[in-house]
Chains A and B, each alone.
Chain A
Amino acid sequence: MKYSGPDFYHITDLLTEDELLIQQTANDFVQEKFMPLIREHHQRATFPMELIPQMGELGFFGASLPEAAGGAAVSNVAYGLIMHELERGDSGLRSFASVQGGLVMYPIWKYGSDEQKQRWLPKLSAGTAIGCFGLTEPDFGSNPGGMITRAKRTDDGWVLNGAKMWITNGSIADVALVWVKDDANVVRGFLVEKGTPGFSAPEMKGKLSLRASVTSELILQDVVVPESAILPNVNGLKGPLSCLTQARYSIAWGAIGAAVDCYETALRYAKERKQFSKPIAGYQLTQAKLVDMLEEITKALLLVIQLGRLKDQGKMDYTQVSLAKRNNVHIARDIARSAREILGANGILDEYPVQRHAMNLESVYTYEGTHEMHTLIVGQKITGLNAVD
């Protein structure tokens, strides 16, 4: 078995037998079950709901978490390779898995009560329940610490008020992990169940990016929840930020998948498409584009393989994840554009995946910490000076 993608540096040698088999499983699933559906879902701006339990059965959600958390205890590199394959299909598919595993299962397992774990982890893992993660607000994106959504203590629980925006899976979620401030101005996480009076999650329409992914507002109007809804074991912004580290890790891998799909499409096309006397792949300008793509994909892969090994050894630092998210999404975005150029007019058609990836990657560039915010995170790390106060 081999790394499925352009293996210019014998990257296969860096992967174990089961990591390769896991990538193969994810690859087969995406190519056989998802690819026949994506074009229509992209056009209609819908998510292929029937695939969610199938992904659960395969073990894709929170795969690197321990079995007690609903995971399969695979290595972080194996988990990354799954994300690589999902996003090779579409960023929307990978986003679903990143949210379900990294932003919902992870915090429930890490910070939840036994009751919360028993109630949600088996279903989230099996894909029979869907979760979402509400941090961003209309006026607080890069600066989530400024959030104004509130939790007020009552005699036997809490009352939540406020609004979240840009929430992946919001309208289809059975449970929303909502981050709010309590009376002491401390950020706390609440599990709010679908159907709770005062809670609604209208879908945001008109997206020209991540169309095959549901994005929603979460509206909380005097939502009464019991004490058991709060995640007991975390206080402060480090709660949501620690989840973001998990999800950003999956994005750093996923973006390479989108880049690989664009590169492989462009390479195939360039070898077949003839203009003037020969295939366009024979012209130096095209070769330069293709080589740039391969070079960046190769570097990006080596980056995340080492990042994954560090994560497995417990040595990974969130600033290293920032560097990888920043680099890999950035190069994927450039590669998608370059691939679009090589495909000429065909590049804009949804018969080919490149324009869809290019559009998707605009969201990926911005969510989970914008490119700029990751620059500032790494910038602070190396200078010791914080650019924001």
Chain B
Amino acid sequence: MNIIVLVKQVPDTEAKIRIADDGNQIDEASISFIVNPYDEYAIEAALQLKEAHGGEITLVSLGPGGAIAALRTGLAMGADKAVLLKAENSRFMNSQAVAGQIGKVLADRQFDLVLCGKKAVDTDAQQIGTLLAMNLEISVISSIVELNIAGNQITAKREVEGGTETVSCQLPAVLTCEKGLNEPRYPNLRGIMMAKKKPIEEIVVDVVDSVTDFKFENPPQKAEGRIVGEGVDAVPELARLLREEAKVI
């Protein structure tokens, strides 16, 4: 089975984000970048499928040159090769533009399955997988938490409000991965050393300047918390405040 996994490099979820002085980008010098955590579920799912069915895993990332580090992490986990769609100013591209560029490249390639995270934790848009499936005119199942593939038949469970839903479709398809699908492996040392020798193809893509008026702002400062008491004795006062001050109950 030939599997494409989409990988995005995002700021470390534990990083303290600082807005650069010009207000339209984050100060990248002060933060560490990681593989988008949802994409790790996609990589792990691909590795498990490869272990069961054989085949080849190709990682695809659209982003600046630095995104190569995210690809190396995925290669170290066990993927076979990678493609970097290089766009230094990719942050000015909206989801449609990104999915369009990835779709263009994938249209010429042989694959059975595309896996990606259900969303990237930086933009939180939840669009790429679905838009890509639309561009490629293939099926999509989003936010999967369980996956089974037998022959050409995909059966996946997805979480919906208050329960799970079981959905089936045929290969080829796009599946977007939700937390809970699996436990991503750590890249081991032999994998990290081998990753250095795996091929990364670079394709420069046009930055379609689809987002203008780009601006970041810090969220408003949170007011300091208040302790109204301890144990059961505090409940009446807490209930009163929630009702009268916060007006949430």
Residues of A in contact with B (beta carbons under 8 Å apart) = 1-2, 4, 17-18, 21-22, 25, 28-29, 57-60, 63, 67, 72-74, 78
| B34, B72, B190: most-surrounded residue (chain A CB, <10 A) | B190
B32 near A22 (CB under 8 angstroms)? Answer: no
A356 to chain B, nearest CB (A): 23
Main SS at interface, chain A:
helix
A59 near B186 (CB under 8 angstroms)? Answer: no
In whole angstroms, what is the CA distance A147 to B33 when docked?
A: 52
In whole angstroms, what is the CA distance A4 to B76 when docked?
A: 19
Q: Which residues of B contact A29 (CB under 8 A)?
A: 186
B72 near A59 (CB under 8 angstroms)? Answer: no
B188 near A18 (CB under 8 angstroms)? Answer: no
A57 near B193 (CB under 8 angstroms)? Answer: no
Interface residues on B, range: 10 to 19
* 13 further A-B pairs in the complex, CB-CB below 8 A; given A17-B69, A21-B72: A1-B33, A1-B69, A18-B195, A18-B196, A22-B192, A25-B187, A25-B192, A57-B188, A58-B188, A58-B189, A59-B190, A72-B189, A73-B193
| A59, A73, A74: most-surrounded residue (chain B CB, <10 A) | A59
B127 beta carbon closer than 8 Å to chain A? no
Q: Which residues of B contact A63 (CB under 8 A)?
A: 189
Q: Mark B39-77, 1 if CB is under 8 A from A, else 0.
A: 000000000000000000000000000000100110010
In whole angstroms, what is the CA distance A28 to B69 when docked?
A: 17
B189 near A2 (CB under 8 angstroms)? Answer: no
Residue of A nearest to B33 (CB): A1
Q: A59: which of B31, B33, B69, B189 is its contact (CB, 8 Å)? A: B189
A90 to chain B, nearest CB (A): 19
In whole angstroms, what is the CA distance A9 to B188 when docked?
A: 28
Q: Can you spell out 15 A-B residue pairs with CB atoms less than 8 angstroms apart? A: A1-B32, A2-B31, A17-B69, A18-B195, A21-B69, A21-B72, A21-B73, A21-B187, A21-B192, A22-B189, A25-B187, A58-B188, A59-B189, A63-B189, A72-B190
Q: Which residues of A contact B190 (CB under 8 A)?
A: 59, 67, 72
